[in-house]
Amino acid sequence: MLEVTGLSAGYGPVRALRDVSFSVEPQTITAVLGANGAGKTTLLRALSGLIGVSSGSVALRGDDITSLATEDIARLGVAHVPEGGGVIRELTVDENLRLGGLIAGAGESERDVVLALFRPLQERLGLPASTLSGGERQMLALGRALMARPTLLLLDEPSLGLAPRVVVQMMAVLRRLRDERGMTVLLVEQKAEGALAVADRAVVLRVGEVMADEPAEALQGADPKLRHAYLGY
Ligand code: ATP
């Protein structure tokens, strides 16, 4: 589904990603883990064309998308949910969802599919997004992304700031999306526990480089010292 080869990117003199290579199989969840500043957000930005890359390539289903504009990458079925969700607080839940569907021309039927996944949103359709709890806002962010009928979801720390119970619910939704809708997910998380519980594979970044690229269960069962070195806990 996604092939990242020798990717380097940064901000002026700051090289945030160095020679990053990994691949993502279709209909899998790949966790991208690493401490603060490891380059996780930069990786998602580079994949969705929000920042330019200095070298390397990104292929989506075999096609080179490295230098495509963000909107063209989105049209190819890549949805990026930034840290914090990026929902528009002044708009209602319904308006946020409809905005998400614009790019794909999605209508009522897609909205119904999304609302079936996130039942609490159904009761709050007419309310401004600012009135939602943190967990509901993350659901809305994910729901809005799904309205574009993506095949690849790029999620930046969806569990940030959420109660453990809500994190479990969020991960269960990701599992359903993979198993029932054949979605491929790249899941950036700083806290590894929840992500490893649902991921098939894990790529660990450290200061912009790939430290490990392994089946998720290999990291789940890893020696505590190794986990500490890789993941900082
Ligand atoms: P976090 O978990 O804190 O979001 P991260 O793993 O997502 O961390 P990035 O945000 O990708 O890390 O940052 C990687 C490096 O790039 C860091 O050294 C960071 O300071 C730097 N960086 C990030 N954004 C910018 C920017 N807009 N301008 C300059 N440097 C930046």
Which residue, by CA, sits nearest to atom 19 of ligand 1? 37
Pocket of ligand 1 (CB under 6 A): 11, 14, 16, 34, 36-42, 190
Q: Tell me how far apart the 2 most distant CA atoms of the chain are, in Å.
A: 50
pTM of the predicted model as reported, rounded to 2 decimal places: 0.92
Task: Give the CA-trace dihedral at 227, 228, 229, 230, to 10 degrees.
Answer: 50
What number does the ligand 1 atom closest to the CA of 34 have? 6
Ligand 1: nearest atom to the Cα of 188: 7
**pLDDT tens over the chain, length 233 residues:** 999 999 999 999 999 999 999 999 999 999 999 988 999 999 999 999 999 999 999 999 999 999 999 999 999 999 999 998 889 999 999 999 998 887 777 677 888 888 988 888 999 999 999 999 988 999 999 999 999 999 999 999 999 888 888 889 889 999 999 999 999 999 999 888 889 999 999 999 999 999 999 999 888 766 666 666 666 65
For ligand 1, mutation pick of 32, 36, 40 (most atoms within 8 Å of CB): 40
